[in-house]
Amino acid sequence: MFMYEMPTRLFFGKDCLNGAGKDLKKLGQKALIVTGRHSAKINGSQKAVTEALKSAGMTWVLFDQIENNPSIKTVRKAAEFGKAEHVDFVIGIGGGSPMDAAKVIALLCTNDLDDKALFTGPYVRPLPIVTVPTTSGTGSEVTKVGVLTNPAAGTKQSVNTPLIFPVLSYADPSFTESVSTTVTIDTAIDALSHAIEGYMSRKSTPMSDVWAEEAMRFLGPHLTDLEGTIPYAVREDLMYGATAAGIVIAQTGTTLVHGMGYQLTYYKGLSHGRANGLLLPGYMQLMAETMADKVEKVWDILGFSGLEDFTDCLHSLMPERISLTEDEIAAYVRLTLPTGAVASTAYEVTGDVIARLYRSLA
């Protein structure tokens, strides 16, 4: 027995926001647009959204102060702004940070939650959420999770509820054409991590595995195409793969790679995708012990001869190494062990296992 839930209505492809006004208008008259400071203005996504709203005679206000790894303070500020402006729905434009923030902002517009309850609920229905991804990585456009930095916990934490599935999502690969090489690599590896972790998760199902294999089929051939000028056709495959991988983790959640990677982002400043990429080889070595058949299927789909070939590819894309002190490792182990990511990992994860994986990054 398994459950599958995917309530987001997805529009995919170049210029998919054309004519979106008729669907957006069903959500209300006034939108709160949530973005970072620059990229949505540069890549054309913000203009495409406002043109769609304008064509339907709708109004909007803009909150463009979302930082990388958004904070509780920022989403609270945005929610207060949205409530004061009496907005009817929220549109998140950008990579994972603005989209995750938009989900939590929509929740805070209708829920009075202290910092603890923000991550636990219970919740009442948020304002409707619309997502417009401009990177090919997080899959947040189709998930029920919003990740925030939480200083009180000393790490990143997730708001996780089916209530924050986006109602509508518009995935236009052309918005990723101005993305830098570094971000293209980081986000592609994040998407790959989603597909692999979901495939290996204790919570995987026959249906989530279909999407995981689909995502890997579109991401794998391009792992050697992530530098230099990237053709639109490749950008399209990467976004499709990232969205498919998002559908996977909407069903399965993530596993040990994410649970450990959050500490590398929070304390060492690594991007989310880069943290995942550095941890993936060690993780796959563990998975080969417990899920050998699936690991071999991963190599087959991605086009690698095995773990060594896969590791060489990731090290060529992400050559840096991370040396952690024993005190840092002990602290990161304490933060990682209680997470749901550990519970979902198909391996007997102990503190020693986590510590060994952190040490392998040096």
Q: For the CA atoms of 344, 72, 239, 141, what is the dihedral angle to 10 degrees?
A: 80
- If one counts every other C-beta atom within 10 angstroms of the C-beta of residue 358, the result is 23
57: left (phi > 0), else alpha (psi -120 to 50), else beta? left
pLDDT above 90 coverage of the chain, percent: 98
Q: Give the C-alpha separation, 353 to 256, whole Å.
A: 10
Q: Give the C-alpha separation, 136 to 94, whole Å.
A: 10
For 117, half-sphere exposure in the C-beta direction (CA atoms, 13 angstrom radius) is: 10
Token digits for 251?
């069903």
Q: Going by CATH, does the domain composed of 9-175 fall within 3.40.50.1980? A: no
- Among candidates 89, 98, 88, which has minimal Cα distance to 133? 98
pLDDT tens profile 47-90: 999 999 999 999 999 999 999 999 999 999 999 999 999 999 99
Say yes or no to pLDDT of 349 above 90.
Answer: yes
pLDDT tens profile 90-112: 999 999 999 999 999 999 999 99
Domain boundaries of the chain, sorted by first residue: 9-175, 181-359
- Rg of the chain (C-alpha set): 19
pLDDT tens profile 107-146: 999 999 999 999 999 999 999 999 999 999 999 999 999 9
Q: Going by CATH, does the domain composed of 181-359 fall within 1.10.10.10? A: no
Say yes or no to pLDDT of 227 above 90.
Answer: no
User: Is the model's pTM score more than 0.75?
Assistant: yes
Q: Are 266 and 275 in contact (CB under 8 A)?
A: no
